Amino acid sequence: MSDAPSLPIARQQSVRLVVERLLRDRAVSRAELARSTGLSKQTISEVMRDLERDGWVREDGQVQGSVGRSAVTYALRPDAAFVLGVDLGGTKLHVALADLQGEIVAESIEPTSGDGGAAVVAQIGRMQESLLQQASVPAQRLRGGVMGSPGIIDPASGSIVIAPNIPGLDSLDVRAALRERLGIDVAIENDVNLAAIGEHWRGNSRKARSFAFIAVGTGIGMGIFSDGYLVRGARGAAGEIAYLPLGGDPYDTRGLRLGTLETAVGSVGIVERYLGLGGVPGGTVRDVFDRLDSDEAARVAIDEVSRILASAILAVHCILDSEIIIMGGSIGVRPELKLRIEEYLGRCMRQPVRIELSALGNRATLIGAVGSAIDLVHRSLFGIGRDAGPLALPAMATDVAA
Amino acid sequence: MSDAPSLPIARQQSVRLVVERLLRDRAVSRAELARSTGLSKQTISEVMRDLERDGWVREDGQVQGSVGRSAVTYALRPDAAFVLGVDLGGTKLHVALADLQGEIVAESIEPTSGDGGAAVVAQIGRMQESLLQQASVPAQRLRGGVMGSPGIIDPASGSIVIAPNIPGLDSLDVRAALRERLGIDVAIENDVNLAAIGEHWRGNSRKARSFAFIAVGTGIGMGIFSDGYLVRGARGAAGEIAYLPLGGDPYDTRGLRLGTLETAVGSVGIVERYLGLGGVPGGTVRDVFDRLDSDEAARVAIDEVSRILASAILAVHCILDSEIIIMGGSIGVRPELKLRIEEYLGRCMRQPVRIELSALGNRATLIGAVGSAIDLVHRSLFGIGRDAGPLALPAMATDVAA
DNA sequence: CCAATTTGTCAGGACAGCGAACTAATGCTG
DNA sequence: CAGCATTAGTTCGCTGTCCTGACAAATTGG
């Protein structure tokens, strides 16, 4: 905090090099730091003295080299700062408090307030205070946060353009309101994009620099990583595959309104399809899946949905050449669906793309929010990867690439 | 050249700041540089003295401020270094020699040698020597090059994985062979990607940070920019929209082999479609377009192609949220096609994406190669934007964003 | 217990960058 | 036309980072 603004450029650079190294390996000795950064031993000593004085690092054990004096190793203090991750859904509001290592120290879920944007901001504020108290974290240690929300977020301003589920959220300057109420800067990002970030950080696409996360549930959406960077698009609407012209006629007015693909494979579409095939009325998507083995209509319906999803994945893969596709969302994580999609993919691709189920399930957005928040805090404190835009996450804590 | 390796980090940083500013505005005074970089006047003076001594910049006129002493302005010397741009097509080989400002000082076209990869490399070598002589440029001033080729280029190694038109090119280490023969480092990139870079640099998408360049000709391909970066994909196959599951059945074996979309709207597909509608046999795509007003079969055929292309553009736009779509390639640049596509887009999108024709035509790849080569040389000389991968072009000369 | 090796600190020097004072050039004004 | 305000660019002295080299401290192996 006190160092970033005032320190001269040269020292900032040195600090940055040291911190970047410390982010990769938990415990590093001063001598090792000197070797790997190319700085001299004294420079390292000085930097470490300052970092330790300000509470950013601490001694963390020793290391016995085969011969010679043993070295004291240093590690970042996970409790040097904390971040807030928020998953704002239409029905549930999930807030987590985590330290700089990504360890969640407190979290809570509440039904989302139905009284509009300002009430939701106040609710988040109350939950934040409760979590801070619960984990005995002083408020000034909280250094930033990220909130995921359905809808479209303008990449330039970071404000919500379209918020489908929460009335009055798009008319409010949520970011300013959150800063006012919480006392920290909170970046806002599309929930599916954050889920993709979560899977990249702690999930099933950790090693992939190019992948897509497809969420199939009530609606359908996608988060895209390309070369390790989140793809947002010109207006923050990249990955809105609800409107893909597959599974129906894109010139139909209904597809124009709700999205052709979403109409075909969203939860409403699946149930309608099942009924159209003579299925038993009065059930949900869950029931359709449960009847897969006994009910021919269910089998055919899910088969058709899988076929459409496979062609959507083919389309995505053609355009993005992703290394892996992660399936998420309440419907997307069903293994029965994955099996069928893989079968169809085998019939329309020479080298079918790898499909994996989300490892984080309904926590993906929350974990992505925490990960992004940690990255943002690192960036603001040490200027790491400052050339990259916010939430680009190329130098993320777990990114092992040199 | 001689400065980059030996200079201390702080000075390199200063030089980099100065050069980045000079790349944006042609002529800048020292006082202005001091203000915009935040460095002190003396530091600027010293940096400029060194740069001028080494031949990178020169005095370039004066400027009259409304009041006060007039300032001497400096500009980068365009002739400080030269680059080679190569467009390697299946039938034509196009090579250009350009200075650091992107001014092409000599260029030539030859039929591509039919004797395979090694012969092509030798041919490029001969053309390079001829161009250097023609423009009286000493060989040591040539500092780098970029070559565009159809096929898939591995993003990690930069070598050609699949080269459809030139036999023996994929088995050869083209990059090493070119370095050996030309004496410079030559990066290789997909031709459509380079065309997209060309349009971004000097064409119709100059201000767009997210756009797609779609080339429709014998085949169909796409180059993608997202947030100012070229999207390559995991294996360099991003933008291979030939396989999009539109305009046909993706589970058909023919679509699997040739690509569903390409089968439908490639030149062969257009002619076949025209014949199937009862058109006059024995013509080319050009003839079909020429008969648009007189021949009902031609009108319907082009209409259907436009409808399919519109849905492809819709698919691309859903996934990428591009600001603008540039149409290129021998078929893609036809205004008749653009008109019809726009009509269909108006019927399947609430806010139709902007469509523009390529401003560079069949020179797009060559110009993109020159632009990337200049960017690479800037990068290697001054370490500009070193965090970004090769050819990412975020700090390109014409990029006005701060 | 000593030699070898590695860790970490203590000086001294080199140098980039800054601030302030100063000189130089230009336009405006009385 | 002289003087003043303003801007451009230089010289000088200072601060602070970083490096080299020497040295003390700690640890292992013989």
Q: Which of A233, A235, A401 is nearest to A320 (CA)?
A: A233
Task: Please judge whether A315 and B320 are an interchain contact, meaning their C-beta atoms are less than 8 angstroms apart.
Answer: no
Pick out residues 57-86 of chain A having their CB under 7 A from any atom of nucleic acid strand C. Answer: 65, 67-72
Q: Mean pLDDT over residues B289-298, rounded?
A: 92
Q: Cβ distance B321 to B288 under 8 Å?
A: no
Question: What pLDDT, on a 0 to 100 scale, did the predictor assign at position B389?
Answer: 36
Query: How far does the CA of B61 sit from the C1' of C24, in Å?
Result: 18
Other C-beta atoms lying within 10 Å of the C-beta of residue B31: 17
Residues recorded for chain B: 402
Q: Mean pLDDT over residues A231-257, rounded?
A: 87
Q: Residue A343 — φ and ψ, nearest 5°?
A: -65, -45
* A246 Cα distance to chain centroid: 27
CA atoms of B74 and B72, how far apart (whole Å): 7
pLDDT at residue B271 tops 80: yes
Q: How many CB pairs under 8 A join A and B?
A: 153
Q: Mean pLDDT over residues A368-377, rounded?
A: 93
Question: What pLDDT, on a 0 to 100 scale, did the predictor assign at position B258?
Answer: 79
| CATH architecture of the domain with range A206-358 | 2-Layer Sandwich (3.30)
Task: Please judge whether B232 and A226 are an interchain contact, meaning their C-beta atoms are less than 8 angstroms apart.
Answer: yes
Average pLDDT of chain A to the nearest whole number: 87
Q: Mean pLDDT over residues B264-290, rounded?
A: 91
Tell me, yes or no, if A346 comes closer than 8 A to chain B by beta carbon. no
Domain boundaries in chain A?
3-76, 80-196+363-382, 206-358
Which nucleotide is nearest, taking the CA of residue B47 and each C1'? Answer: C16
B238 CB neighbours in chain A (<8 A) are 210, 226, 319-321
Query: How far does the CA of B70 sit from the C1' of C28, in Å?
Result: 15
Q: Which of B238, B388, B397, B200 is nearest to A229 (CA)?
A: B388
- A268 exposure class (CB count in 10 Å sphere: 0-12, 13-18, 19+): middle
**pLDDT interval class at B390 (50, 70, 90):** very low
Q: Mean pLDDT over residues A71-90, rounded?
A: 92
Q: Which residue has the higher pLDDT, B39 or B343?
A: B343
* A208 Cα distance to chain centroid: 14
CA atoms of A28 and B280, how far apart (whole Å): 76
Tell me, yes or no, if A13 comes closer than 8 A to chain B by beta carbon. yes
* Backbone Cα Rg of chain B: 23
| CATH architecture of the domain with range B80-196 | 2-Layer Sandwich (3.30)
What CATH code is assigned to B205-358? 3.30.420.40
Q: Which of B94, B64, B71, B316 is nearest to B210 (CA)?
A: B316
Helices B117-134 and B174-182 pack at an angle, to 10 degrees, of: 30
Q: Mean pLDDT over residues A183-193, rounded?
A: 93
Question: What pLDDT, on a 0 to 100 scale, did the predictor assign at position B5?
Answer: 36
Q: Which of B311, B231, B220 is nearest to B269 (CA)?
A: B220
Tell me, yes or no, if A320 comes closer than 8 A to chain B by beta carbon. yes
Question: What pLDDT, on a 0 to 100 scale, did the predictor assign at position B20?
Answer: 86
Of the candidate ranges A140-144, A230-234, B5-9, the one whose mean pLDDT is the lowest: B5-9
Q: Cβ distance B212 to B323 under 8 Å?
A: no
Q: Mind giving me the DSSP string for A77-90?
A: -GGG-EEEEEEE-S
Q: Cβ distance A48 to A39 under 8 Å?
A: no
Tell me, yes or no, if B315 comes closer than 8 A to chain A by beta carbon. yes
* A19 Cα distance to chain centroid: 23
Q: Cβ distance A191 to A87 under 8 Å?
A: yes
CA atoms of A392 and A385, how far apart (whole Å): 9
Q: Mean pLDDT over residues B162-189, rounded?
A: 84
Q: Are the folds of A3-76 and A80-196+363-382 the same?
A: no
A236 CB neighbours in chain B (<8 A) are 321
Q: Mean pLDDT over residues A292-302, rounded?
A: 92
Interstrand relation of B324-328 and B211-216 (parallel, antiparallel or unpaired): parallel
Tell me, yes or no, if B340 comes closer than 8 A to chain A by beta carbon. no
Scanning B253-400, the segments in alpha helix (DSSP H) are 253-258, 260-265, 267-276, 285-290, 296-320, 329-332, 335-348, 364-382
Query: How far does the CA of A66 sit from the C1' of D30, in Å?
Result: 15
Identify the residue among B251, B320, B396 best suited for mutation to test binding to A, counting A beta carbons within 10 A and taking the highest.
B320
Task: Please judge whether B319 and A241 are an interchain contact, meaning their C-beta atoms are less than 8 angstroms apart.
Answer: yes
CA geometry: angle B338, A244, A289, nearest 5 deg: 165
Question: What pLDDT, on a 0 to 100 scale, did the predictor assign at position A3?
Answer: 33
Percent of chain B exceeding pLDDT 90 equals: 55
Question: For B144-175, what is each residue's pLDDT tens digit?
Answer: 999 999 988 887 777 887 777 777 777 778 88
Return the bridge partners of A59, or none. Answer: A74
Task: Please judge whether A227 and B227 are an interchain contact, meaning their C-beta atoms are less than 8 angstroms apart.
Answer: no
Report which residue is nearest nucleotide C14 when distances run from CA to C1'.
B8
Tell me, yes or no, if A258 comes closer than 8 A to chain B by beta carbon. no
Question: What pLDDT, on a 0 to 100 scale, did the predictor assign at position A93?
Answer: 95
Task: Please judge whether A316 and B318 are an interchain contact, meaning their C-beta atoms are less than 8 angstroms apart.
Answer: no
**pLDDT interval class at B396 (50, 70, 90):** very low
Average pLDDT of chain B to the nearest whole number: 86
Q: Cβ distance B73 to B80 under 8 Å?
A: no
Tell me, yes or no, if A390 comes closer than 8 A to chain B by beta carbon. no
pLDDT at residue B402 tops 60: no
Question: For B59-96, what is each residue's pLDDT tens digit?
Answer: 888 877 667 788 889 999 999 999 999 999 988 999 99
pLDDT at residue B387 tops 50: no
Instruction: List B residues 96-155 in contact with A (Cβ-Cβ < 8 A).
Output: 155
Other C-beta atoms lying within 10 Å of the C-beta of residue A390: 16
**pLDDT interval class at A384 (50, 70, 90):** low
Question: What pLDDT, on a 0 to 100 scale, did the predictor assign at position A65?
Answer: 66
Q: Which residues of the protein are close to the nucleic strand D, CB under 7 angstroms?
A: A 7-8, 10-11, 13-14, 38-43, 46-47, 62, 64, 66-70; B 29-32, 41-42, 45, 65, 67-72
Q: Which uninterrupted H or E stretch holds B73?
A: strand B71-76
Pick out residues 28-57 of chain B having their CB under 7 A from any atom of nucleic acid strand C. Answer: 38-43, 46-47
Question: What pLDDT, on a 0 to 100 scale, did the predictor assign at position B384?
Answer: 58
Percent of chain A exceeding pLDDT 70 equals: 92
Task: Please judge whether A237 and B348 are an interchain contact, meaning their C-beta atoms are less than 8 angstroms apart.
Answer: no
Three-class secondary structure assignment of B268-295? HHHHHHHHHCCCCCCCCHHHHHHCCCCC
Q: Which of B212, B220, B396, B393 is nearest to B305 (CA)?
A: B220
- A42 contact to strand C (CB, 7 A limit): yes
Tell me, yes or no, if B306 comes closer than 8 A to chain A by beta carbon. no
Query: How far does the CA of A63 sit from the C1' of C9, in Å?
Result: 19
pLDDT at residue B394 tops 70: no
Which residues neighbour A339 within 8 Å (Cβ) at sequence distance 6 or greater?
A: none
Report which residue is nearest nucleotide D20 when distances run from CA to C1'.
A40
Question: What pLDDT, on a 0 to 100 scale, did the predictor assign at position B383?
Answer: 65
From B13's Cα to the closest Cα of chain A, the distance in A is 10
Tell me, yes or no, if B236 comes closer than 8 A to chain A by beta carbon. yes
Is 1.10.10.10 the CATH classification of the domain at A3-76? yes
Q: Mean pLDDT over residues B273-297, rounded?
A: 91
pLDDT at residue A141 tops 50: yes
Other C-beta atoms lying within 10 Å of the C-beta of residue B351: 10
Q: Which uninterrupted H or E stretch holds A128?
A: helix A117-134
Helices (H) and strands (E) in chain A, counts: 15, 15
Q: Which uninterrupted H or E stretch holds A5?
A: helix A3-6
**pLDDT interval class at A170 (50, 70, 90):** confident
Q: Which residue has the higher pLDDT, A53 or B341?
A: B341
Question: What pLDDT, on a 0 to 100 scale, did the predictor assign at position B321?
Answer: 96
Tell me, yes or no, if B156 comes closer than 8 A to chain A by beta carbon. no
Of the candidate ranges A326-335, B108-117, B185-194, B380-389, the one whose mean pLDDT is the lowest: B380-389
Scanning B102-162, the segments in alpha helix (DSSP H) are 117-134
Interstrand relation of A324-328 and A354-357 (parallel, antiparallel or unpaired): parallel
**pLDDT interval class at A282 (50, 70, 90):** confident
Of the candidate ranges A116-120, B240-244, B301-305, B320-324, the one whose mean pLDDT is the lowest: A116-120
Q: Which residue has the higher pLDDT, A4 or A350?
A: A350
A154 → chain B, closest CA residue: B321
Q: Which residue has the higher pLDDT, A159 or B284?
A: B284
What CATH code is assigned to A80-196+363-382? 3.30.420.40
Q: Which uninterrupted H or E stretch holds A270?
A: helix A267-276
B237 CB neighbours in chain A (<8 A) are 321
**pLDDT interval class at B248 (50, 70, 90):** confident
Q: Which residue has the higher pLDDT, B162 or A323?
A: A323
Residues recorded for chain A: 402
